[in-house]
């Protein structure tokens, strides 16, 4: 397969030239000491990155260098994604198919086990993609405390090797439970869980484009789902409710997505670079934290990029895709789109006969006969319709 071409339509909002003004214009949280050196941060799940994630990393390190700041990367290791999966395209029977190369622990782990408590990945599949095979083989050889740590260590080696980039400081989401900010906000949840959850759900409701689920509440039973996970080694992550919180050890707690970004934006960075998803849902975080705790968070920016492989054909626009879908559907009912002149003439004649036939029973017979003929046409042109 040909080498990749340059990214198509990278999105950067606002333009990087405006980032210093964005940072300087934001009210630095009282949680973050004023003497602290500026930090540009981004992050993602522990995984082999696709181009959009790599774009965030490149932007983070470039901005840190330009602004004489530190670069940090948040490893979202409380998520239960497949840390050892690489999706890649193949051509098969004149079609583009998606395949996955996989690395896995030697022992099975339950579904929904976070990458930060999944054993290291020592087994890897063999696929048609030599590049994917090489990356996964190298992953299997990389040491680590768990799958998330293992993937992060590999990425820290690949960045200077492949791109000449000095790796940022890596911070895991599970380690945030040990911070003073987490401890203070945990205490606030214990004292008044309803205030935390009601503010969260109100922010979700006022930002429907984020498509986030509200936290479960049962005020009559004083039961509130909190923005926390309970995580034990080798077990699925579990939701946390207010009546359980006091009895759960700190080292078994981890923030969910919005609480996670709230902690780092309040206490660890001066700008957080999101992809398209986070750039939308973190608006909810801003509203939630302002209502619940009156906390101002560090500003956010958006960086992403899509990389297309050179498949030897011109790029296809969205309108062309939409037209092709319409044509594929319409061709099943219109022989003219299959360049079948005889079948087209028969259908026109059938439609005219149906329209002029006064007898309802006879019209039904003609209608069924027309569709029987169309079914025969579809069989004849089956290869074209696939």
Q: Which two tokens stand for residue 143?
A: 């040491």
Cβ burial, residue 126 (10 Å; 0-12/13-18/19+): exposed
Return the DSSP state at 311.
Answer: -
Asked if the structure places residue 329 within a domain, the reply is yes
Q: Is residue 111 located within the same domain as residue 240?
A: yes
Asked if the structure places residue 12 within a domain, the reply is no
Asked if the structure places residue 4 within a domain, the reply is no
pLDDT in tens, 145-198: 999 999 999 999 999 999 999 999 999 999 999 999 999 999 999 999 999 999
Which is more confidently placed, 268 or 127?
A: 268
Measure the CA–CA gap between 362 and 34, rounded to whole angstroms: 86
For residue 84, pLDDT beyond 50: yes
Confidence band (pLDDT; 50, 70, 90) for 6?
low
Query: What is the number of structural domains in the chain?
Result: 2
Last residue of a domain, one of 282, 304, 326: 304
Measure the CA–CA gap between 237 and 154, rounded to whole angstroms: 25
pLDDT in tens, 116-157: 999 999 988 878 888 889 999 999 999 999 999 999 999 999
Which is more confidently placed, 87 or 249?
A: 249
Q: Which two tokens stand for residue 113?
A: 């086990």
Asked if the structure places residue 7 within a domain, the reply is no
207 within 8 A of 92, measured Cβ to Cβ = no
Confidence band (pLDDT; 50, 70, 90) for 238?
very high
pLDDT in tens, 50-66: 889 999 999 999 999 99
E-state strands within 157-280: 169-172, 217-218, 223-230, 238-241, 253-255, 271-274
378 within 8 A of 385, measured Cβ to Cβ = yes
Q: Is residue 81 located within the same domain as residue 178?
A: yes
Confidence band (pLDDT; 50, 70, 90) for 7?
low
What domain range is 265 assigned to? 17-304
pLDDT at site 291:
98
Q: Is residue 21 located within the same domain as residue 153?
A: yes
Q: What is the mean pLDDT of the chain?
A: 91
Closest to 228 in 3D by CA, of 202, 193, 272, 277: 193
Asked if the structure places residue 10 within a domain, the reply is no
pLDDT in tens, 320-356: 888 888 888 888 888 888 888 998 999 999 999 999 9
- Cα atoms found within 13 Å of the Cα of residue 16, Cβ hemisphere only: 16
Asked if the structure places residue 281 within a domain, the reply is yes
Measure the CA–CA gap between 271 and 289, rounded to whole angstroms: 17
> What percentage of the chain has pLDDT greater than the value 70?
97
Asked if the structure places residue 356 within a domain, the reply is yes
């Amino acid at each position: 397969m040909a080498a990749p071409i340059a990214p198509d339509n990278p999105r950067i909002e606002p333009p990087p030239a405006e980032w210093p003004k964005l940072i300087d214009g934001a009210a630095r949280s009282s949680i973050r000491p004023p003497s602290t050196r500026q930090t540009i941060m981004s992050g993602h799940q522990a995984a082999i990155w696709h181009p959009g994630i790599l774009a965030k990393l490149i932007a983070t390190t470039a901005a840190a260098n330009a602004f004489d700041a530190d670069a940090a990367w948040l490893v979202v290791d409380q998520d239960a994604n497949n840390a050892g999966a690489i999706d890649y395209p193949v051509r098969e029977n004149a079609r583009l198919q998606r395949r996955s190369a996989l690395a896995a622990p030697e022992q099975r782990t339950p579904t929904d086990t976070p990458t930060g408590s999944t054993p290291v990945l020592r087994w890897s599949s063999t696929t048609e993609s030599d590049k994917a095979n090489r990356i996964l083989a190298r992953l299997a050889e990389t040491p680590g405390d768990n799958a998330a740590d293992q993937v992060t260590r590999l990425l820290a080696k690949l960045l200077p090797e492949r791109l000449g980039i000095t790796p940022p400081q890596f911070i895991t989401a599970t380690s945030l439970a040990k911070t003073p900010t987490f401890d203070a906000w945990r205490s606030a949840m214990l004292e008044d869980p309803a205030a935390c959850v009601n503010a969260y759900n109100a922010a979700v409701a006022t930002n429907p484009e984020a498509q986030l689920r509200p936290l479960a509440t049962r005020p009559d039973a004083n039961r509130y789902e909190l923005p926390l996970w309970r995580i034990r080694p080798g077990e699925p992550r579990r939701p946390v409710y207010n009546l359980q919180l006091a009895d759960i050890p700190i080292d078994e707690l981890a923030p969910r997505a919005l609480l996670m970004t709230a902690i780092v934006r309040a206490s660890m960075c001066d700008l957080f670079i999101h992809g398209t998803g986070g750039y939308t849902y973190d608006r909810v975080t801003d509203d939630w934290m302002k209502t619940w705790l009156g906390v101002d968070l560090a500003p956010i920016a958006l960086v992403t990029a899509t990389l297309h492989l050179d498949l030897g054909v011109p790029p296809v626009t969205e309108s062309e895709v939409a037209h092709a879908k319409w044509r594929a559907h319409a061709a099943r009912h219109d022989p003219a789109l299959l360049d079948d002149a005889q079948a087209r003439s028969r259908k026109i004649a059938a439609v005219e006969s149906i329209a002029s036939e006064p007898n309802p029973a006879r019209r039904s017979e003609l209608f069924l006969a027309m569709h029987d003929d169309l079914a025969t046409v579809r069989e004849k042109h089956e290869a074209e319709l696939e």
